[in-house]
Amino acid sequence: MRIGMVCPYAWGVPGGVQFHVRDLAEYFIGQGHDVSVLAPSDEGDDVPPYFTSSGRPVPVRYNGSVARLTFGPVTSARVTRWLEAGRFDVLHLHEPINPSASLMALWASTDEPVVATFHSAMLRSRALQAAHPLLRPSLEKIRGRITVSAEARETIRRYLYAESFIIPNGIHVDRFAGAPPAEAWTGTPARPTLAFVGRADEPRKGLGVALRALPAVLDEHPGARLLVAGPGDTAEALAAADPRAATAVETLGTVSDADKASLLRSVDAYVAPHLGGESFGIVLVEAMAAGAPVVASDLIAFSDVLDGGRTGILFETGSPEGLATAVLDLLATPGRREELHRLGRERARLFDWEVVADRVMAVYETVIAGADGEPDEPTQHGLWGRIVRGVPGGGG
Region of 395 please: left (phi>0), alpha (psi -120 to 50) or beta.
beta
Residues 245 and 344 in one domain: yes
pLDDT computed for residue 120 by the predictor: 84
Contact 276, 299 (CB under 8 A): yes
98-135: pLDDT as tens digits: 889 999 999 999 989 999 999 987 655 555 555 556 67
Residues 67 and 134 in one domain: yes
Assess if residue 48 is contained within a domain.
yes
pLDDT computed for residue 304 by the predictor: 94
The arithmetic mean of pLDDT across residues 184-206, rounded, is 95
Residues 61 and 119 in one domain: yes
Assess if residue 36 is contained within a domain.
yes
For residues 146 and 152, give the distance between their C-alpha atoms in angstroms, rounded to a whole number. Answer: 9
pLDDT computed for residue 139 by the predictor: 84
Percent above pLDDT 90 for the chain: 77
Assess if residue 83 is contained within a domain.
yes
Q: Which of 27-41, 80-94, 149-163, 188-202 has the lowest mean pLDDT?
A: 149-163
- pLDDT bin (cut points 50, 70, 90) of residue 385 is very low
Do the bridges between strand 65-69 and strand 58-62 make them parallel or antiparallel, or are there none, so unpaired? Answer: antiparallel
pLDDT at 389 over 80: no
pLDDT computed for residue 136 by the predictor: 72
Which of the pair, 224 or 158, is modelled with greater confidence? 224
- pLDDT bin (cut points 50, 70, 90) of residue 335 is very high
- pLDDT bin (cut points 50, 70, 90) of residue 374 is very low
- pLDDT bin (cut points 50, 70, 90) of residue 377 is very low
Residues 53 and 95 in one domain: yes
> What is the CATH classification number for the domain harbouring 26?
3.40.50.2000
Assess if residue 393 is contained within a domain.
no
Residues 236 and 221 in one domain: yes
Residues 330 and 356 in one domain: no
51-68: pLDDT as tens digits: 999 999 998 876 556 788
The arithmetic mean of pLDDT across residues 142-154, rounded, is 92
pLDDT at 325 over 50: yes
Q: How many CA atoms lie within 13 A of 193 on its CB side?
A: 22
Assess if residue 394 is contained within a domain.
no
Residues 318 and 185 in one domain: yes
pLDDT computed for residue 161 by the predictor: 79
For residues 158 and 145, give the distance between their C-alpha atoms in angstroms, rounded to a whole number. Answer: 14
Residues 103 and 177 in one domain: no
**Residue 394, burial from CB neighbour count under 10 angstroms (0-12, 13-18, 19+):** middle
Across the chain, mean pLDDT equals 90
pLDDT computed for residue 127 by the predictor: 53
Assess if residue 262 is contained within a domain.
yes
Helix ranges (H only) for the chain are: 16-30, 73-86, 101-108, 126-139, 150-160, 173-177, 207-220, 235-240, 243-248, 257-266, 282-290, 300-305, 320-332, 334-348, 353-368, 382-388
pLDDT at 390 over 60: no
Counting the structural domains of the chain, the total is: 2
Q: Which of 55-69, 193-207, 310-324 has the lowest mean pLDDT?
A: 55-69
Residues 66 and 100 in one domain: yes
Contact 165, 395 (CB under 8 A): yes
245-289: pLDDT as tens digits: 999 999 999 999 999 999 999 999 999 999 998 889 999 999 999
Residues 67 and 42 in one domain: yes
Residues 189 and 237 in one domain: yes
Assess if residue 306 is contained within a domain.
yes
For residues 73 and 52, give the distance between their C-alpha atoms in angstroms, rounded to a whole number. Answer: 17
pLDDT at 330 over 90: yes
Assess if residue 395 is contained within a domain.
no
Residues 365 and 270 in one domain: no
**Residue 372: CB atoms within 10 Å:** 9
Residue 66: give the domain boundaries: 2-170+352-388
pLDDT computed for residue 169 by the predictor: 94
pLDDT computed for residue 14 by the predictor: 83
